[in-house]
Amino acid sequence: MSPLKSFASLLRFVQFLKVNLKEKNFSSSSHKTQKEKHLKEQTFQRKKETNTMGEELDDWGLSAEQLDLLEKDAIRQISARNSSSHHANSSPLPNRAASYPNSPSNPTSHQSRIDRAGPCSPSQFRQPDITRNNGERPNVRVRLFPHSSGVIAASFPYNQVLVDAFRKIPKATWNRQERLWTFPLSSLQAAEEVLSSISSAQIEVNKFEPLVQRALIAAFSVKDLRDLYDRMPSHIESKLLPFQREGVRFALHHGGRVLIADEMGLGKTLQAIAIAACLNDTWPVLVISPSSLRLHWASAIQQWLNIPLSDILVVMPQSGGSNRLGFRLVYSNSKTGIHLDGIFNIISYDVVPKLSDALINCQFKMVIADESHFLKNAQAKRTSATVPILKKAQHAILLSGTPALSRPIELFKQLEALYPDVYKNVHEYGNRYCKGGFFGMYQGASNHDELHNLMKATVMIRRLKKDVLTQLPAKRRQQVFLELNEKEMKQIRALFRELEAVKLNIESADSEEKIASLKLTQKSLINKIYVNSAEAKVPAVLDYLGTVIESECKFLIFAHHQPMIDSIHQFLMKKKVGCIRIDGNTSASSRQALVNDFQEQEDIKAAVLSIKAGGVGLTLTAASTVIFAELSWTPGDIIQAEDRAHRIGQVSSVNIYYLLANDTVDDIIWDVIQSKLENLGQMLDGQEKTLDVSTSQKGCLSQVVNAGKTSGSPSKANVAKTFGSPSKQHWKSRECRYPVSVINVVVRIKYDLSRTLFA
């Protein structure tokens, strides 16, 4: 018999054994033949003698792993013989290895799993993996590669000597499902030493690509800082969810240079602040974020780290606005220059190019870059200015739920910022991972599994909601405070002054008729403030939406006034974001069709809804993110709107974001809503109800002048119940937050309004 036929026979025999083993494992005992039972009895003793791997053995004394490896060896032997025959004979034999001779046309799921695992395919090797030439030691090829779980994986033809060797590698484990040995990156050097010490066989370990090798060496070389985890304040650590603690430890383990790529709503901001708390010996800190999130960061830092407002410096694009929150503000257009001397210094990407020299000279040891996909364009000024700052920092924390929006090339600058000595040549990176583009632009994608696995093994941690769903609450509310245009705020302040004057006139009125007339004027002014507040919030709301749509998640956005709804809808259309719109002008007959489109079509990402018209009777569970651009005076409307996503059929945790603006009608409405919920809960359920907010925004109530407080107002420690805040109190009506420079008229009249006009 020729060598080729003998190997083909071996392959058929091995596959027969595997099919027999699979049938034995998955068939019930009632369907086993007498012959199978007889064979089982005959080989029972042999199983106990040959079970050296601890794996389940088949009726011939071979484990499933050994059968897999024998089959792959036979395939490779046939492939090699075919290759040799092709060169030796002008009429070559057909290569039957790829078609799996005498096997079903569709491979079993067991075979498919082997193929997906990526161990050596016939096309990768043209020579036998195990040969014996003139009595020489056998050659065994071991393939090492980054694994998607963030470890190093190894595959090789079955060899008991190698199996025993891998058991000696620190923390090495057998991955039964994928038929691979895996071990952490920290054991790579030990693995190489163990394999090189084998004398009974000649071990050939595949070489990593130079880029992969540099990345692994760099990640292994960084100092492990996990012993600094205990520096984290207890009130932060106790509020972290398990996966968030894992994210902090991952960052410390990788020397504080990582990309946290968790899906939107999983608390990347909190994880970054916790990491900063562990690395407090490297303060001061620079935080770079989109402009719409500057105040979000300032409030979150003040809340979690309890840092005085004066130590949190926020760089604004231009002077002229009022400091309503109490943080230190400096302006990038200052003629005298700026001094970034805060403990935490917060700046937006669009301002970085203007201050690049000053930022470099400050030599920040720790830099946090929020929404780091803003650095995807290598030609953009903000990228050119920001990346050198990240390179120079001792610790760099990148945060993004969508680090590569469409192409692997968009990851390069972020990776370069974290490991400049590894990702130093865009052509090397592009040729490996971005093939398929044109004109040298690297717009394609190649070896994407390798890139994904390499990132997870060295710099990136990423969790999706579905991965950590059991750790998440059903609903999480968060307040996001917006920066408003100073021109629009002047009009609102003027209306508040009129409202204060009316309030004083009511107190001094001497007749019921005059009081009734003044109260009508008072209500009219409040409605006007309501409308003007919506118009003033439009630019800030759209700015915030710009960051949301880049996450590519489905979301609902609610508003009340038509100008706000129109602006949001037009913005999404301009950005070419698929969306539906349901408001008072939407016919009843078309609503269900729009709902079906949103639920079923993946390319429809947004639903623009009126709080009144779109807040009831609709099921929109395809989204797990809900945004309120405005508030309603009626708490029932808010709860109903939230429950468009939070209802039967929802399989994820629902994140709810309230976009609020200080010194506007939002200050009054939020308090009114909480007051009504409290009264309703006491009346119906015998206990208070509130909109519990999981906010990273702690208010500045302690900064309000004492004369403006109502008696019995809570202390600073009891302001809010937040997602992980030290306080355990609900955010109730009398515990509403206020900015530092809140207008005294709001402080004095808001409770009276909630008890009279809107009771």
The structural domains of the chain, with segments of one domain joined by +, span: 1-127, 129-207, 226-470, 475-755
The residues near 743 (Cβ < 8 Å, ≥ 6 apart) are 493, 496, 663
User: Is CATH 3.30.70.1450 what the domain over 475-755 is classified as, yes or no?
Assistant: no
Lowest mean pLDDT among 315-319, 373-377, 601-605: 315-319
Residue 11 pLDDT: 58
The pLDDT tens digits for 180-226 are 999 988 888 888 888 888 888 788 888 788 999 899 889 888 999 99
What is the spatial distance between Cα 688 and Cα 564, in angstroms, rounded to a whole number?
33
> Given a cut of 50, is residue 721 above it in pLDDT?
no
Distances (CA, A) of 351 to 234, 299, 316: 35, 20, 8
User: Which fold does the domain 226-470 belong to in CATH?
Assistant: Rossmann fold (3.40.50)
What is the spatial distance between Cα 748 and Cα 704, in angstroms, rounded to a whole number?
12
The pLDDT tens digits for 457-516 are 899 999 988 888 888 878 888 888 888 877 778 888 888 889 889 989 888 888 888 888
Question: What are 636's two structure tokens?
Answer: 């029932």
Residue 65 pLDDT: 59
CA-only gyration radius of the chain, Å? 32
Matching fold, domains 226-470 and 475-755: yes
What is the spatial distance between Cα 593 and Cα 155, in angstroms, rounded to a whole number?
52
Distances (CA, A) of 550 to 403, 553, 575: 10, 8, 10
Mean pLDDT, range 52-58, rounded to an integer: 38
Q: Kindly give the pairing relationship between strand 395-399 and strand 257-260.
A: parallel
Residue 369's φ and ψ, nearest 5 degrees, are -115, 105
Question: What are 584's two structure tokens?
Answer: 């008072």
* pTM listed for this prediction: 0.67
What is the spatial distance between Cα 502 and Cα 201, in angstroms, rounded to a whole number?
95
> Given a cut of 80, is residue 678 above it in pLDDT?
no
Long-range contacts of 270-273 (CB under 8 A, 24+ apart): 270/236, 270/240, 270/244, 270/300, 270/304, 270/696, 270/723, 270/724, 271/240, 271/244, 271/247, 272/368, 272/370, 272/397, 272/399, 273/236, 273/300, 273/301, 273/304, 273/305
The pLDDT tens digits for 582-612 are 998 888 778 888 999 999 999 999 999 999 8
Lowest mean pLDDT among 88-97, 399-408, 523-532, 710-719: 710-719
First to last CA, the chain: 97
> Given a cut of 90, is residue 703 above it in pLDDT?
no
Distances (CA, A) of 376 to 96, 395, 436, 667: 46, 20, 18, 38
> Are residues 59 and 97 in contact, defined by beta-carbon separation less than 8 angstroms?
no
Residue 470 pLDDT: 84
> Given a cut of 60, is residue 668 above it in pLDDT?
yes
- Under DSSP, is residue 170 helix (H, G, I), strand (E, B) or coil? coil
CA angle 16, 18, 21 (to 5 degrees): 110
What is the spatial distance between Cα 233 and Cα 223, in angstroms, rounded to a whole number?
22
